[in-house]
Amino acid sequence: MYLPTHFKQGNHSELFDLIQNNPLGSVMVIHAGEIIANHIPFELDVSYGELGLLRGHIAKANPLADIMNQPLSAYVIFHADQAYISPSWYEGKQEHHRVVPTWNYRVVHVQGKIRKIADEKYLRGVLARLTRNHEANQETPWKMGDAPTDFIEAQLEKVVAIEIEIESMIGKFKVSQNKSQLDAKNIVNALENSNPEMAESIQKYFPKP
């Protein structure tokens, strides 16, 4: 990943926070000279090891399941807020017109070993926690026990748990840190209604004077 210094984010707390709030990871592994890509919602366990552990599940019919008889190297990308930035928001647009569009975004790239866990109790735990976490804001949260036992058993037979032990992790928070304070303020004003998440990120991560 191209990573200019002013966009580099290495603070583990910030990276963990992005993953936990944006748990759908784009997972890539290389097998037999081909890239296999999947999109998987993960649970992050920050208490595991130095950099944490990602837990999730995939369908047994997924080709990825067939090649995890031994740990594989995996690359995972987590995406957070993103926004198109118009040159019309820059002060220079009015002065000299030497400005161009860009795109702001926040991502975390993770590398680690991915493996499948053939343990139904482990799988149930992963599914129960993921469900509990993402159902928390529902008026009546759904839980696995709401469905008939035989139906749940049949669904469990179709999936397998996976985990990725994180070996390295880096973030790219491209949120206008390379612009002037005036330009950053103008961008925030332009985005505060249409994209308040990005406006908040610019305010939070822009270099303090």
One DSSP character per residue, 131-196 reads: HHHHHTTSSS---GGGS-HHHHHHHHTTEEEEEEEEEEEEEEEESSTTS-HHHHHHHHHHHTTT-H
Question: What percent of the chain clears pLDDT 90, i.e. is strictly above it?
Answer: 89
In this prediction, residue 187 carries a pLDDT of: 97
In this prediction, residue 106 carries a pLDDT of: 98
Residue listed under structure tokens 């139906």: 151
- Assess whether pLDDT exceeds 90 at residue 97: no
CA distance 100 to 129: 45
- Assess whether pLDDT exceeds 90 at residue 44: yes
Among the listed residues 161, 132, 155, the one whose alpha carbon sits nearest the alpha carbon of residue 64? 161
What the block records as the tokens of 102 is 């860009």
pLDDT band at 70 (very low <50, low <70, confident <90, very high): confident
pLDDT band at 92 (very low <50, low <70, confident <90, very high): low
Indicate the average pLDDT of the chain.
Answer: 94
- Assess whether pLDDT exceeds 70 at residue 115: yes
